[in-house]
């Protein structure tokens, strides 16, 4: 899919802006705070109907205005569609394709896949396991609706089991039978999620390693390790073995809601030993692998958004990344950078049609 045209009205700091894009490389250059990332965020809205920052939609309406619109012409293999997102300050957000509203946002997901690489990704390395689980879940759900269903059911059941454990503690009472009602569905949904996560990471890891090797020029080796309670024992047994502990803690202490991903570089934690450039290279490799996976599973090449991509990368890594983009034909790409000269220099090396927009 190619984003051919984009018009913004009152979106963040942009009152009125229109662009006609190259089907290959598009760069936004300008000073800090000019609104380059905001344009990428508008493209992110077109893909999933919300900001990549996870903020409330109302923060995206330009200050002191009453609505925003994002309108785009999307060229597919067979036809061109008009996508329009309108958010009034008082009212509901609407997403329309060719003037027809979607009933549910989920019907739109997958129409225009986008992969974004941004400085905010560093949270994936530095934050708690929850952000890595969210990232993992988002990656798998993009192409697997059954996974999303299992995840929602698991979370509901977990909440109910935890509420019961709290209720027992509050009322100084315990009834094993009513607690065990939740063990069966929890282990069923949990085990399916565990198997999918394991399979997903087994398939993804070699790509991340390969991309990292290319970007770093073979300097370091990275590894992704999936850490789960279910590696040691089956889920039903775990729930039984940890019953006394759960009663004291008043929550379910074992399960896939405690899973984590360990990112290693040369057998040490990237979080501890990786420099900013090495961490960034790892995140780029991870996201490019995600992109590759979406492409293989859906047949659609995601649009690639590279926010502040050259910051913290040395010249070798920048040129390796460019070679990679050249070789793998990543489809339509949007890049932001503060330096026009650097962008022009980099773009010249890429063997594709490009446009540079000064913001
Ligand atoms: N709702 C809004 N209304 C008006 N301005 C906004 C709104 N939301 C964000 N902004 C402004 O947008 C600017 C940030 O834009 P953005 O992050 O796109 O900058 P950038 O060009 O990517 O900068 P950098 O080079 O520093 O990454 C800030 O000045 C911020 O105040």
Residues 141, 245, single domain; the answer is yes
Residues 241, 327, single domain; the answer is no
Q: Examine residue 280 and state whether it is found in any structural domain, yes or no.
A: no
CATH number, residue 206: 1.20.1050.90
**How many angstroms separate the Cα of 34 from the Cα of each of 19, 25, 38, 69, 357?**
16, 20, 9, 19, 12
Residues 227, 257, single domain; the answer is yes
Domain span holding position 314: 2-113+300-358
Residues 231, 321, single domain; the answer is no
Say how far residue 166 (Cα) sits from the centre of its chain: 34
Contact criterion met (CB below 8 Å) for 251 and 158: no
Q: Examine residue 257 and state whether it is found in any structural domain, yes or no.
A: yes
80 carries a ligand binding annotation: no
Ligand 1 within 6 A of 32 CB?
yes
Q: Examine residue 122 and state whether it is found in any structural domain, yes or no.
A: no
Q: What is the pLDDT of residues 47-73, one digit of tens each?
A: 989 998 878 899 999 999 999 999 999
Distance CA 213, CA 143 (A): 26
Q: What is the pLDDT of residues 127-162, one digit of tens each?
A: 889 999 998 998 888 778 789 889 999 999 999 999
Contact criterion met (CB below 8 Å) for 23 and 353: yes
What's the CA-to-centroid distance between 339 and ligand 1, angstroms? 17
Residues 69, 170, single domain; the answer is no
Given a cut of 90, is residue 232 above it in pLDDT?
no
33 carries a ligand binding annotation: yes
Higher pLDDT, 320 or 195: 195
| DSSP 8-state secondary structure symbol assigned to residue 107 | G
What's the CA-to-centroid distance between 49 and ligand 1, angstroms? 19
Residues 66, 144, single domain; the answer is no
Beta strands in 38-185 (DSSP E): 67-75, 80-88, 94-97, 100-101, 114-117
**What ipTM does the predicted assembly reach?**
0.97
Given a cut of 90, is residue 193 above it in pLDDT?
yes
Q: Residues in the chain, how many?
A: 359
Q: Examine residue 279 and state whether it is found in any structural domain, yes or no.
A: no
Residues 205, 136, single domain; the answer is yes
Note the pLDDT of residue 311. Answer: 82
Residues 84, 154, single domain; the answer is no
Tokens 């080796």 belong to which residue?
Answer: 221
Q: Examine residue 233 and state whether it is found in any structural domain, yes or no.
A: yes
What's the CA-to-centroid distance between 248 and ligand 1, angstroms? 48
Residues 95, 17, single domain; the answer is yes
Higher pLDDT, 262 or 54: 262
Distance CA 67, CA 351 (A): 40
Ligand 1 within 6 A of 110 CB?
no
- With 0-12 CB in 10 A as exposed, 13-18 as middle and 19+ as buried, what is 176? exposed
203 carries a ligand binding annotation: no
Q: Examine residue 205 and state whether it is found in any structural domain, yes or no.
A: yes
Query: Nearest C-alpha to atom 8 of ligand 1 is from which residue?
Result: 12
Residues 182, 244, single domain; the answer is yes
Residues 102, 22, single domain; the answer is yes
CATH number, residue 342: 3.40.50.300
Compute the average pLDDT of residues 65-84. 95
37 carries a ligand binding annotation: yes
Q: Examine residue 156 and state whether it is found in any structural domain, yes or no.
A: yes
Q: Examine residue 324 and state whether it is found in any structural domain, yes or no.
A: yes
Residues 141, 249, single domain; the answer is yes
Domain count, the chain: 2
- Indicate the SS3 state at residue 37: helix
Given a cut of 90, is residue 90 above it in pLDDT?
no
Contact criterion met (CB below 8 Å) for 264 and 222: yes
Residue at which a domain ends, from 213, 239, 265: 265
């Amino acid at each position: 899919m190619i984003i051919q045209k984009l018009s913004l009205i009152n979106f963040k700091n942009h009152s009125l802006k229109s662009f006609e894009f190259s089907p290959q490389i598009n760069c936004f250059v300008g000073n800090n705070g000019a609104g380059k990332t905001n344009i990428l965020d508008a493209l992110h809205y077109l893909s999933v109907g919300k900001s990549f920052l996870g903020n409330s939609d109302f923060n995206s309406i330009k200050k002191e205005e009453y609505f925003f619109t994002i309108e785009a012409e999307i060229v597919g293999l067979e036809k061109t569609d008009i996508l329009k997102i309108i958010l009034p300050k008082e009212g509901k957000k609407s997403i329309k394709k060719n003037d027809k509203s979607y009933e549910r946002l989920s019907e739109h997901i997958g129409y225009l896949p986008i992969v974004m690489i941004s400085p905010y990704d560093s949270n994936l390395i530095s934050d708690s396991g929850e952000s890595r689980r969210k990232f993992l879940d988002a990656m798998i759900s993009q192409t697997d609706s059954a996974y999303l269903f299992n995840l929602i059911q698991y979370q509901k059941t977990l909440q109910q089991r935890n509420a019961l454990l709290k209720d027992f503690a509050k009322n100084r009472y315990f009834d094993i039978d009513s607690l065990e009602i939740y063990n069966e569905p929890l282990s069923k949904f949990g085990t399916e999620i565990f198997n999918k996560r394991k399979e997903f990471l087994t398939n993804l890891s070699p790509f991340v390693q390969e991309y990292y090797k290319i970007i770093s020029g073979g300097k370091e080796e990275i590894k992704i390790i999936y850490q789960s309670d279910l590696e040691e024992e089956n889920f039903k047994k775990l729930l039984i073995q940890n019953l006394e502990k759960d009663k004291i803690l008043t929550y379910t202490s074992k399960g896939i809601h405690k899973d984590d991903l360990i990112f290693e570089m040369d057998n040490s934690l990237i979080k501890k030993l990786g420099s900013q450039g090495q961490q960034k290279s790892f995140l780029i490799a991870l996201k490019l692998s995600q992109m590759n996976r979406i492409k293989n599973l859906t047949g659609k090449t995601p649009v690639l958004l590279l926010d502040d991509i050259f910051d913290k990368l040395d010249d070798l890594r920048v040129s390796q990344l460019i070679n990679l983009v050249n070789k793998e034909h990543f489809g339509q790409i949007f890049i932001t950078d503060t330096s026009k000269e650097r962008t022009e220099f980099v773009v010249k090396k890429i063997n594709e049609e490009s446009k540079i927009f000064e913001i």
